[in-house]
Amino acid sequence: MDQILQQLINGLSLGSIYALIALGYTMVYGIIQLINFAHGDVYMVGAYVGYVCMAHFHLGFFTSLIVAMAVCAVLGMVIERVAYKPLRNSTRIAVLITAIGVSLLLEYTMMYFAGAEVRTYPPMPGFMSGSYHLGGVTVTALQLMIIAISVLLMVALQFIVKRTRLGRAMRAVSQDADAARLMGISVDNTISFTFALGSALAGAAGVLVGVYYNSINPLMGILPGLKAFVAAVLGGIGLIPGALIGGYLIGTMEVVVSGLGFSTYRDAAVFAILILVLIVKPSGLLGKNVREKV
């Protein structure tokens, strides 16, 4: 039982990070039906911004977190305006190829300026490096902080989407962009705001990963980005609660597979779930099948 509880705690901390990244995927897809494969690299940029703030400017963790979120929000808006907006009426394959190109551009631009070597985050303050023992279960202060920050950001996102004017605009555009435009909603600004919001969450996830695993590199966004996409598909892409559920399920499953001694196959297990979901229920756990007339 102690081993199971330990793996659940580890899975919650890892799943929180996947859920933050998956929210960006699902929000953008819900608005313009775009799978933004550059999203994982925005998460990488957030990790580097947090590293620079903490290692070179000697800012505190929470200040660095806010700065990383702000920089990634601006980066997300720039990517949308420069790369995706001109292709809004193009074929989906053209936009998908563009997303992959933006992903590679971010990776190798960071590699050019920061180098390809692994960077190590500075040590955390004393209160973040402690741990608590509950029977045979060990919970670190860092894990509790990651879970708490992730939940707080998810609650804030839900409040913005459900209770604010911009959130209502996002929901209107996702339902019918033309009707929203006729009602006076700026569709372009709403889409940019959605990219900014999703990118800010990805930037926060990047900083949390940096302090949790204590190392970052320019290619760190590839695999977590793909796993977060799997989490979004598992929960039902386009649905915010689905992204949360999918993120926690994928994180927990990955930790459990590793805990059983099959750490070599944990990535394979995640993508096997993607194949299974697409075969059995393509709309995801919370998604509904929609009939289309042809």
pLDDT tens track for 25-79: 999 998 888 889 999 999 999 999 999 999 999 999 999 999 999 999 999 999 9
Residue 3 counted as domain residue: no
Q: What is residue 294's predicted lDDT score, i.e. its pLDDT?
A: 45
Average pLDDT over residues 123-152: 84
Its domain, for residue 29, covers 15-221
Residue 124 is given by DSSP the state: P
Checking if the pLDDT of 291 tops 60, the result is no
287 belongs to a structural domain: no
Q: Is residue 264 part of a domain?
A: no
Q: How many Å apart are CA 282 and CA 277, to the nearest integer? A: 6
Which amino acid appears at position 71 of this protein?
V
Alpha-carbon distance values, 20 to 43, 210, 262 (Å) = 10, 14, 26
Is there a domain that residue 279 lies in? Answer: no
In a domain? residue 265: no
Q: How many domains does the chain have?
A: 1
Given a contact cutoff of 8 angstroms between Cβ atoms, the answer to whether 194 and 28 are in contact is yes
pTM, to two decimals = 0.93
- The tokens for 77 are 């808006």
Total Cβ atoms within 10 A of residue 175 = 10
Average pLDDT (275-284) is 89
pLDDT at 290 over 60: no
Residue 207 has pLDDT above 50, yes or no: yes
